[in-house]
Amino acid sequence: MNFLIADALAQGAQAGQPSLISAMLPMILLLGIFYFLIIRPQTKKAKEHRQMVEALKKGDEVVTNGGLLGRIAEVGENFLLVEMGDGVQLKVQKVAIASLMPKGTVKGNL
């Protein structure tokens, strides 16, 4: 009979509640992973693009987000005048510049 009482006491004992820290730990780890794999690289890339756009000057050869290749003819506060060909100039926003090309990329009459 004594063994039945021991079993009843063992079943009635409740497991301890998990602490707040152990319950939040997986969520904190997930946020850390998202930060280092997604957020941090994107902010670094945006910072590099912003620095590149601020350093643009007349004569630089650039590619726009639309894929147009040309040489900067004039630099304004928010816009650039990009010479695409002989007498063909387009006004584009500075932020629409995708990349800066090495000198000599644009060949021809530009």
81 touches 72 (CB < 8 A) = yes
Give the tens place of pLDDT for each residue, 67-96: 999 999 999 999 999 999 888 999 999 999
Any alpha helices (H) in 2-105, and if so which ranges?
A: 2-12, 20-34, 40-54
Q: Is the dihedral of CA 84, 61, 59, 81 positive or negative?
A: positive
C-alpha 60/C-alpha 94 separation (Å) is 13
pLDDT band at 15 (very low <50, low <70, confident <90, very high): low
Retrieve residue 98's tokens: 């995708």
98 touches 92 (CB < 8 A) = no
Q: What is the mean pLDDT of residues 35-44?
A: 95
